[in-house]
Chain A
């Protein structure tokens, strides 16, 4: 009888129900442990060795890190990252928020407009980069077209200018990601309780006050998520640079990720490459850890 069984050992079905989720999850957990965390540890280890072309296991301490921070290319890469990341994150969020607020005005055709803005996200960065490379190229793109249309004095040669090229990266990246940020903010806006807004309107709040005092503060979680996603996209951006400028003109658009690849795989200085990867990991961690911490704290 069932009641007799339940006081003793649980039957096979119950046991299976207990174990099934664990069984199903374990292969992917194992794969993650090896291929993500295992290789993180392996890379950190390599960064302390004298690896050149193939991994080698002779310990050299912090030598690779000293070399890394003595390289002018690495400081260029860090400065470029600072410029690129801050502009990319701020502009994406501003445009995304603005688009979300406009789309949230119960306008006609929203269902058509939303995918139009979101669509660039469906393209890979390599496609975005190639398309913008052609568009910005003075010889064939915008400048050339303007000249053909008769505006002879028009000049837009940023992509060929070593002081301005980094901003062309920002343009292409913002074009790609701001629609996605808009979607996140739009979801946030839709989640705000209408009653609260109505109450504020009855109290005589203007639209501006409504957004500044109530809506935007309530969007805090959406801001956080957008920031985390954009920040890690910025730190790991590689394909966009390769497609758009190839790191040039000269070395003007070198970023940590392009630096890491070239030192590890084309310059046979794997140790230095691994060290730069570790620094990038620390950069991502500096963004992610406070975020995860605050997420966990909110749950309590």
Chain B
């Protein structure tokens, strides 16, 4: 049976691998950063490696969340021909780490460059499971941001809200003026992204940790969770009728084009604002979702290294890992991507106001222990559980459940998915 499977999968992999007859000193990189800015940022890494005579075999698999890329990767690994490095997120990394001997060991590079000290512990949980460095973190995105249209707020006399109630009052004021208050795209992951913040604003890091990281049934079906769902109902009242199925960047465009006042979205939204020629602080505001100050929910793109056969390939792999963690690449890449560097000892001089804010808050949260993996982006629990939570959150947001039912369903769904 196993032979049969391998034959089939390798035939599948053959078509994917035809272009990838890599030389020993090349690195082959599977990623889904195909958008203009992302590709430009990867060039920095490419050039660094080219300076060390290491070739770059690009294996881009398009598709935002990387689902297609992960399917391609499975085929390659099952066929015994893994790429050098693969862009990956959160629990996908841990799932691969559990598959036994397929991942490389980067401890040597990590020790030489002192990664243990400069990379926040919350991120090491993913890049260094069981004490072995298997991945090089590229960036840290954080997801509890609000992006606001400054001109619109000034016109209506709305100050930057600092508490949840002020936020709701501000949303109401915008709604009363006839504009869309909250730009949102009704896709399950986007609903879950704002749910991250709703839970934090209700029960703080304690509820968040108990519910999403410990998966405690009592916390999942608690009165506080019902309140968190009530917050979702409140927010649902401020989105336009046409929200469902809209892509996140179209929602950002609504804020950019003065059609909507606020958007709750991760810091990749900043790229859309910058591309539209907007300046942080003067044209748009970035601030943490009111009620979640001091906490940072993150997701982190990492290059997971797969075990290579010969020494030359291993050398190239180590060089690549080292290049990724170099401050120059961290700065160049994250400036474009909207995220902040994965190491906390990088100078923030080259970053814009939002970037500086993000870096300072990341450092602070990391020291206080309030740097939490984002549930919505697969950094709090495994894919099966994450998707089970998505199901309930999106069903509630679309009116299938009331808040009490939703909390019950949440506990059931998480239990069933474990």
Residues of A in contact with B (beta carbons under 8 Å apart): 34-35, 38-39, 42, 45, 52-55, 57, 67, 70-73, 133, 137-139, 157, 159-160, 162, 245-246, 248-252, 262, 265-269
Among B238-246, B298-306, B315-323, B344-352, which stretch is in contact with chain A? B238-246
Q: Known contacts A251-B395, A266-B67, A267-B387; is A139 also within 8 Å of B400 by CB? A: no
Asked whether, in the complex, the Cβ of A249 is within 8 Å of the Cβ of B2, the reply is no
Asked whether, in the complex, the Cβ of B383 is within 8 Å of the Cβ of A139, the reply is no
Look across to chain B and name the residue whose beta carbon is closest to the beta carbon of A268: B383
Asked whether, in the complex, the Cβ of A53 is within 8 Å of the Cβ of B99, the reply is yes
Bound-complex Cα distance A57 to B244 (A): 40
Look across to chain A and name the residue whose beta carbon is closest to the beta carbon of B96: A53
Look across to chain B and name the residue whose beta carbon is closest to the beta carbon of A138: B242
Asked whether, in the complex, the Cβ of A245 is within 8 Å of the Cβ of B4, the reply is no
Q: Which residues of B contact A160 (CB under 8 A)?
A: 241-245
Look across to chain A and name the residue whose beta carbon is closest to the beta carbon of B74: A54
Look across to chain B and name the residue whose beta carbon is closest to the beta carbon of A71: B416
Look across to chain A and name the residue whose beta carbon is closest to the beta carbon of B68: A265
**Within the complex, which residue of B71, B382, B391, B416 is in contact with A70, where a contact is CB–CB below 8 Å?**
B416
Chain A nearest CB from B62 CB (Å) reads: 14
Asked whether, in the complex, the Cβ of A262 is within 8 Å of the Cβ of B387, the reply is yes
Q: Which residues of B contact A250 (CB under 8 A)?
A: 186, 244, 394-395, 397-400
Q: What is the predominant secondary structure among interface residues of chain A facing chain B?
A: loop
- Check if B1 is an interface residue, CB within 8 A of chain A: yes
Asked whether, in the complex, the Cβ of A248 is within 8 Å of the Cβ of B95, the reply is no
Given pairs A42-B5, A245-B245, A269-B417, 13 additional interface contacts (CB within 8 A) = A38-B4, A52-B95, A53-B99, A55-B78, A138-B241, A160-B243, A160-B244, A162-B398, A249-B244, A249-B245, A262-B387, A267-B384, A267-B417
Q: Which residues of B contact A73 (CB under 8 A)?
A: 391
Bound-complex Cα distance A245 to B242 (A): 13
Q: Can you list 13 A-B contacts (CB < 8 A)? A: A45-B1, A53-B96, A54-B78, A55-B78, A57-B2, A138-B242, A160-B242, A245-B245, A248-B186, A248-B188, A248-B244, A250-B394, A266-B67
Q: Known contacts A34-B4, A268-B95; is A249 also within 8 Å of B74 by CB? A: no
Asked whether, in the complex, the Cβ of A162 is within 8 Å of the Cβ of B399, the reply is yes
User: B389-407 CB contact bits vs A (8 Å, 1 = yes)?
Assistant: 0010011011110000000
Bound-complex Cα distance A89 to B243 (A): 31
Closest 10 CB pairs of A and B: A250-B398, A249-B244, A139-B242, A268-B383, A267-B387, A250-B394, A160-B244, A267-B384, A53-B95, A250-B395
Q: Known contacts A246-B187, A250-B394; is A67 also within 8 Å of B416 by CB? A: yes
User: B137-159 CB contact bits vs A (8 Å, 1 = yes)?
Assistant: 00000000000000000000000
Q: Which residues of A contact B394 (CB under 8 A)?
A: 248, 250-251
The residues in B between 1 and 48 inclusive whose CB is less than 8 angstroms from any CB of A are 1-2, 4-5, 7-8, 11
The residues in B between 32 and 88 inclusive whose CB is less than 8 angstroms from any CB of A are 67, 70-71, 74, 77-78
Bound-complex Cα distance A33 to B397 (A): 47
Q: Which residues of A contact B384 (CB under 8 A)?
A: 52, 267-269
Bound-complex Cα distance A71 to B70 (A): 25
Bound-complex Cα distance A268 to B67 (A): 11
Asked whether, in the complex, the Cβ of A42 is within 8 Å of the Cβ of B4, the reply is yes
B: interface residue count bin: 35 or more
Look across to chain A and name the residue whose beta carbon is closest to the beta carbon of B413: A72
Q: Which residues of B contact A268 (CB under 8 A)?
A: 95, 382-384
Q: Which residues of B contact A266 (CB under 8 A)?
A: 67, 70, 383, 387
Q: Known contacts A38-B4, A42-B5, A54-B74; is A248 also within 8 Å of B187 by CB? A: yes
Chain B nearest CB from A221 CB (Å) reads: 36
Centre residue among B70, B95, B244, B400 by max chain A CB count within 10 A = B244
Asked whether, in the complex, the Cβ of B67 is within 8 Å of the Cβ of A252, the reply is no
Asked whether, in the complex, the Cβ of B8 is within 8 Å of the Cβ of A249, the reply is no
Chain B nearest CB from A251 CB (Å) reads: 6
Chain A nearest CB from B334 CB (Å) reads: 27
Asked whether, in the complex, the Cβ of A34 is within 8 Å of the Cβ of B416, the reply is no
Chain A nearest CB from B22 CB (Å) reads: 23
Asked whether, in the complex, the Cβ of B244 is within 8 Å of the Cβ of A267, the reply is no
Bound-complex Cα distance A138 to B245 (A): 12
Q: Which residues of A contact B243 (CB under 8 A)?
A: 160
Q: Known contacts A39-B8, A53-B95, A266-B67; is A252 also within 8 Å of B398 by CB? A: yes
**Within the complex, which residue of B99, B395, B398 is in contact with A54, where a contact is CB–CB below 8 Å?**
B99
Q: Known contacts A35-B8, A54-B78, A248-B244; is A267 also within 8 Å of B397 by CB? A: no
Centre residue among A42, A57, A246, A267 by max chain B CB count within 10 A = A267
Asked whether, in the complex, the Cβ of A162 is within 8 Å of the Cβ of B416, the reply is no
Q: Known contacts A70-B416, A73-B391, A267-B384; is A248 also within 8 Å of B8 by CB? A: no
Asked whether, in the complex, the Cβ of A248 is within 8 Å of the Cβ of B245, the reply is yes
Bound-complex Cα distance A49 to B282 (A): 58
Q: Which residues of B contact A71 (CB under 8 A)?
A: 416
Chain B nearest CB from A22 CB (Å) reads: 23
Bound-complex Cα distance A262 to B391 (A): 12
Bound-complex Cα distance A266 to B385 (A): 11
Asked whether, in the complex, the Cβ of A34 is within 8 Å of the Cβ of B400, the reply is no
**Within the complex, which residue of A35, A55, A245, A251 is in contact with B391, where a contact is CB–CB below 8 Å?**
A251
Q: Which residues of B contact A248 (CB under 8 A)?
A: 186-188, 244-245, 394, 398
**Within the complex, which residue of B4, B99, B383, B398 is in contact with A249, where a contact is CB–CB below 8 Å?**
B398
Look across to chain A and name the residue whose beta carbon is closest to the beta carbon of B98: A53
Asked whether, in the complex, the Cβ of B67 is within 8 Å of the Cβ of A265, the reply is yes
Look across to chain A and name the residue whose beta carbon is closest to the beta carbon of B12: A35
Q: Which residues of B contact A39 (CB under 8 A)?
A: 8
The residues in B between 100 and 131 inclusive whose CB is less than 8 angstroms from any CB of A are none
Q: Which residues of B contact A35 (CB under 8 A)?
A: 8, 11
Bound-complex Cα distance A52 to B2 (A): 16
Chain A nearest CB from B51 CB (Å) reads: 37
Look across to chain B and name the residue whose beta carbon is closest to the beta carbon of A53: B95
Asked whether, in the complex, the Cβ of A34 is within 8 Å of the Cβ of B8, the reply is yes
Q: Which residues of A contact B398 (CB under 8 A)?
A: 162, 248-250, 252
Bound-complex Cα distance A34 to B6 (A): 12
Centre residue among A39, A45, A55 by max chain B CB count within 10 A = A55
Bound-complex Cα distance A71 to B388 (A): 10
Q: Which residues of A contact B241 (CB under 8 A)?
A: 138, 157, 160
